[in-house]
Structure 1
Amino acid sequence: MISKNPFRNLGPGPLIAAAFIGPGTVTVCTLAGANFGFSLLWALVLSIVATVILQEISGRIGIVTGSDLSTLLRNQTGNPVFRVFSMILILLAVVMGNAAYESGNISGANLGLAFYWDAPIVEFFGLQLQLGNFILGTLAFLLLWTGSYKALERILVGLVILMSLAFSITAILTKPDLSSLLAGFIPKWEEAEIPTLVALIGTTVVPYNLFLYAALVKKRWKNEADLPLMRRDIAVSVIFGGVVSMAILMVGAANTSTEITSAIDVSKGLESVFGSFAGYMMGFGLLAAGLTSCLTAPLAAGFVVCGIMDWDQEIKSNPMRLSMGAIVGLGLLFSSFGIKPVQLITLAQLANGVLLPVISAWIIWIASQNSVLGLHRNRPLATGIAGCIWLITLILGLKSIGTVFGWF
């Protein structure tokens, strides 16, 4: 039975919100507001709809089949070449991508920490150790290594709530013009806005979140009768996360700085509006955003690696601990010693560009198969709507590939 309170019976949906609201999302939304005001709010609405649809399909597959996406792919019959290619592609994109971007998550969290404590740089065997990054990365490592899933879930949900409050309060204090705000929900754009538009959607529709949600829902729900609970879980969580992204964009639009390159510049521009309080709120929001992504990225990578390799996916199992530890360890190494994993990021960007439309098409196809989902398969209208969402993922994928090769 579904409670009338939408926040009751929530499952792992808030973890998906925690995963896509990271330092990258904070930066992109901040710059979108700073450069274009409220005019791209409609793009965030589009990204929310696309994410809810794809994540619902992922969750439905997880509950009905009792398998996560990587395990389902490994066990899939049919063309073995496609299956092996897909498995290699997923491992490349998720493992290398998350390892590279974990460095950004840790560094982003440290930027937020800098509002409260400017961590020193320590000489370590002839290398410069960025102490703030090292402390935050080590904290993420210990939480993943020693914590149970329930403990991680509580920590992440708590951070998401606090992060949301930080950004939302800051947005409200900027006192945005209501008519301009509402006009931002009407679709329109200029050529100069297109790269930012694509980036806004790309920070919300994240391929590894599809794997993460399918793996987590089967821990929370075992019965097909729970599908309505799953749908409410993901809809409430993603919409809530989208509202937070909108709040960040609103904060960016309110800045008075002449040069904007990051959320920190925006907070400085807001000091004339309501003093140093802006910095503290934005700093905490950025710290929480970095920490949540520091935990969810390795968790997702661990599920993918263990699912494809047919290893134990329990969070306290040695394969999961080693998989998660490898992701955090690499991110910790890159961020703490200031290493720029440019080639790794470039390769991950290329793999993600191919992975997003491929995995989206695959789960949409799975969702339409009577032999897999039976009565819970997509009907033609739902498949058509999902197909439109797939076109968006294709554009995002082409943009990622084009960026690598310098086409855009």
Structure 2
Amino acid sequence: MNDSTRIDPYALPPDAIQEPPNSLLKALGQIGPGLILAASIVGTGELINTTSLGAKAGFSLLWLILLSCLIKVFVQVELGRYAITHGRTTLAAFDTLPGPRLGTSWLCWLWLFMMLATQAQIAAMEGTVGQAAHMAFPDASRAVASFAGQLSPAFGAFLETRQEHFWATLTTLAAVVLLLSGGYKRLERITTILVALVTLFTVASVLILQWTSFRISVANLREGMELSVPPMAIALAFSAFGITGVGASELFAYPYWCIEKGYARAVGPRSLDQGWAERARGWTRVMQLDAWFSMVVFTVATIAFYLLGAAVLHPQELDPKGPDMIPTLSRMYLQPLEGTALAGMRNWTRVGFLLGAWAVLFKTLYVATAANSRLTADFLDLSGVWRQEGVAARDRTVRAFCIIYPILALGLYFAFREPQGLIKIGGIAQSLLLPLIAGATLYLKQRDADRRVAASFFSDILTWIAFFAISAVAMYSTYILLKSFDYTGVQKLLPFSIG
């Protein structure tokens, strides 16, 4: 199919204009970008970082998780509003910012550096999926190592000690094939199903705790709402603030999903016509419904993961990391059943956890790569490094990076094999960029404001509060990290000795 017959989701042709839905039920039928975002959010940050935070800090940082999930949505909504009313992607909007330029804006370059750092998170997803698959199919892992040993004894011996490598590779290839075989609609369908299944399973696991020795009390929840940060958990808390809820990566990606869903196309090219303003307000309300509905979904899932870590892993001083991460995480689901009337569910729970872990990590790998590839194509075009002449050229670039990024991340996991450390790298990079994104969003909001479609005064106040809260957490956490930094954590990630 050539450019003349392909539908360009980023174009705003007059014949694509549609009136917004006039009822809540119809509006719910138009949501979708937020659920894709939720699929990305409920991933490594929740299964690994959030549970690890609960394991280390107990219930004391529940308030931080809730704040992280809630506060950044106000910035997300304003970015979505800008995309709908101006028809611009995130990078195209940030490309108009004042300041240093090297082909494109300074903030677009910072996005590139952050995105490359977050490949460490993708690496953790691929490796942890490999661990889960190995636990589910240990006989198959041994058979693969045995077969490899017949071809090369050294390679067979290597796979015997790194049996998750085969499954991580297989998962990476499966993700690449799926990414190359479909566009936005398939992405939305797959992620919606997986988000629903993972959320229901995790919430059910928390509810089951109430019939075990790991039950969660009102006192535990009260402790979690006290505004304190245990010193030993500061680095992990900073990383968690960057990853949980809408992280920097998701803020950059959300306008792309809004545009590909068709919100901006339905509004049409910006004009002084009153009909345009009415459509813009209507589709912006749909986008707000989408954002807040997804916030409820990912907040419920995130809190559930945190409570499991705090209730089960923390009392036993268990810290999920390294090659034993998935076996340790599985104990959150299996140990509470021991010695109870629910013990007969142990095998089913184990299978459910492994399938859930696979779904959580695979969908995040899938969505994050799809988003990063779209933003990379946009970045290359804006910077002049690789111009995308037409929709087909952009699609080819997106598909190329749908291959490159998963393979790059797989190499990172093979090199370091420490999922929790890799996640911290990506989380800290996102946390550092969050205040800049929020500040840039407020600047664009003020500079390009259109009173006909502007946010309410109350919404403006909350967006400014979000900016100050995000900035305060980022600056304080950076100060603490620099003050307490040593090379111990770095050494653990390197395959060689320093000094």
TM category (shorter chain) comes to 0.7 to 0.9
Q: CA deviation at 1:240?
A: 0.9
Secondary structure, aligned partner of 2:169: helix
Q: In structure 1, which of residues 357, 362, 365 is the aligned counterpart of residue 443 of structure 2? A: 365
**Residue 153 of structure 1: aligned partner:** 188
Alpha-carbon RMSD across the aligned residues, in angstroms, is 3.3
**Residue 289 of structure 1: aligned partner:** 360
Identity %: 19
**Residue 398 of structure 2: aligned partner:** 320
Which string of whole-angstrom CA distances, capped at 9 and with x for unpartnered residues, describes residues 276-306 of structure 1? 2443333222211101111121122112211
Q: How many angstroms apart in 2 are the aligned matches of 1:173 and 1:107? A: 29
**Residue 238 of structure 1: aligned partner:** 295
Secondary structure, aligned partner of 1:361: helix
Which string of whole-angstrom CA distances, capped at 9 and with x for unpartnered residues, describes residues 352-408 of structure 1? 454222122101221233x35443334665444323322333345443686478548
The letter of the residue matching 1:165 is L
**Residue 373 of structure 2: aligned partner:** 302
Q: In structure 2, which of residues 46, 68, 74 is the aligned counterpart of residue 47 of structure 1? A: 68
Based on CA coordinates, which of the two structures has the bigger radius of gyration? 2
Secondary structure, aligned partner of 1:376: coil
Q: CA deviation at 1:116?
A: 1.8
Q: Which deviates more, 155-164 or 252-261?
A: 252-261
The letter of the residue matching 1:166 is F
Q: CA deviation at 1:166?
A: 1.6
The letter of the residue matching 1:241 is F
**Residue 15 of structure 2: aligned partner:** none
Q: How many angstroms apart in 2 are the aligned matches of 1:158 and 1:343? A: 30
Q: CA deviation at 1:347?
A: 7.7
The letter of the residue matching 1:260 is L
Q: How many angstroms apart in 2 are the aligned matches of 1:345 and 1:243? A: 21
The letter of the residue matching 1:306 is A
Evaluate the alpha carbon distance shift between residue 24 and residue 49 of structure 1 in structure 2; reply closer, same or farther with a 3 A threshold: closer
Q: In structure 2, which of residues 243, 246, 267 is the aligned counterpart of residue 203 of structure 1? A: 243
Q: How many angstroms apart in 1 are the aligned matches of 2:35 and 2:393? A: 18
Q: How many angstroms apart in 2 are the aligned matches of 1:339 and 1:44? A: 27
The letter of the residue matching 1:283 is L
Q: CA deviation at 1:42?
A: 2.5
Tell me if the contact between 2:370 and 2:402 (Cα under 8 Å) persists in the aligned partners.
Answer: yes
**Residue 253 of structure 2: aligned partner:** 212
**Residue 250 of structure 1: aligned partner:** 307
Which string of whole-angstrom CA distances, capped at 9 and with x for unpartnered residues, describes residues 178-232 of structure 1? 5236525634325346555444432224111012111110122132121111111
Evaluate the alpha carbon distance shift between residue 32 and residue 86 of structure 1 in structure 2; reply closer, same or farther with a 3 A threshold: closer
Tell me if the contact between 1:314 and 1:320 (Cα under 8 Å) persists in the aligned partners.
Answer: no
The letter of the residue matching 2:176 is F
Tell me if the contact between 1:140 and 1:294 (Cα under 8 Å) persists in the aligned partners.
Answer: yes
Tell me if the contact between 2:130 and 2:171 (Cα under 8 Å) persists in the aligned partners.
Answer: yes
The letter of the residue matching 1:240 is V
Q: How many angstroms apart in 2 are the aligned matches of 1:400 and 1:156? A: 34
TM-score, structure 1 as length reference: 0.86
TM-score, structure 2 as length reference: 0.72
Q: How many angstroms apart in 2 are the aligned matches of 1:360 and 1:90? A: 13
Tell me if the contact between 1:103 and 1:332 (Cα under 8 Å) persists in the aligned partners.
Answer: yes
Q: How many angstroms apart in 2 are the aligned matches of 1:270 and 1:333? A: 36
Which string of whole-angstrom CA distances, capped at 9 and with x for unpartnered residues, describes residues 214-270 of structure 1? 111012213212111111111011211110111112222332773412223433433
Q: CA deviation at 1:11?
A: 1.8
**Residue 110 of structure 1: aligned partner:** 130
Q: CA deviation at 1:58?
A: 1.7
1:226 equivalenced with 2:283 (yes/no): yes
Tell me if the contact between 2:240 and 2:427 (Cα under 8 Å) persists in the aligned partners.
Answer: no
1:25 equivalenced with 2:51 (yes/no): no
Q: How many angstroms apart in 2 are the aligned matches of 1:313 and 1:345? A: 34
Q: How many angstroms apart in 2 are the aligned matches of 1:99 and 1:207? A: 14
Evaluate the alpha carbon distance shift between residue 336 and residue 36 of structure 1 in structure 2; reply closer, same or farther with a 3 A threshold: closer
Q: Which deviates more, 379-388 or 150-159?
A: 379-388
1:183 equivalenced with 2:227 (yes/no): no
Q: In structure 2, which of residues 471, 486, 491 is the aligned counterpart of residue 394 of structure 1? A: 471
Secondary structure, aligned partner of 1:261: coil
The letter of the residue matching 1:92 is F
Q: What are the residue-to-residue correspondences of 1:96-107 with 2, within 5 Å?
A: 96-107=116-127
Please, which runs of 5 or more residues in structure 2 have no aligned partner?
A: 1-21, 160-164, 268-279, 321-328, 382-387, 487-499
Which string of whole-angstrom CA distances, capped at 9 and with x for unpartnered residues, describes residues 145-201 of structure 1? 222221122111111111112211111111144523652563432534655544443
The letter of the residue matching 2:199 is S
Evaluate the alpha carbon distance shift between residue 317 and residue 78 of structure 1 in structure 2; reply closer, same or farther with a 3 A threshold: same
Paired positions, count? 405
Q: How many angstroms apart in 2 are the aligned matches of 1:37 and 1:186? A: 12
**Residue 454 of structure 2: aligned partner:** 377
Secondary structure, aligned partner of 1:132: helix
Tell me if the contact between 2:241 and 2:431 (Cα under 8 Å) persists in the aligned partners.
Answer: no
**Residue 407 of structure 2: aligned partner:** 329
Please, which runs of 5 or more residues in structure 1 have no aligned partner?
A: none
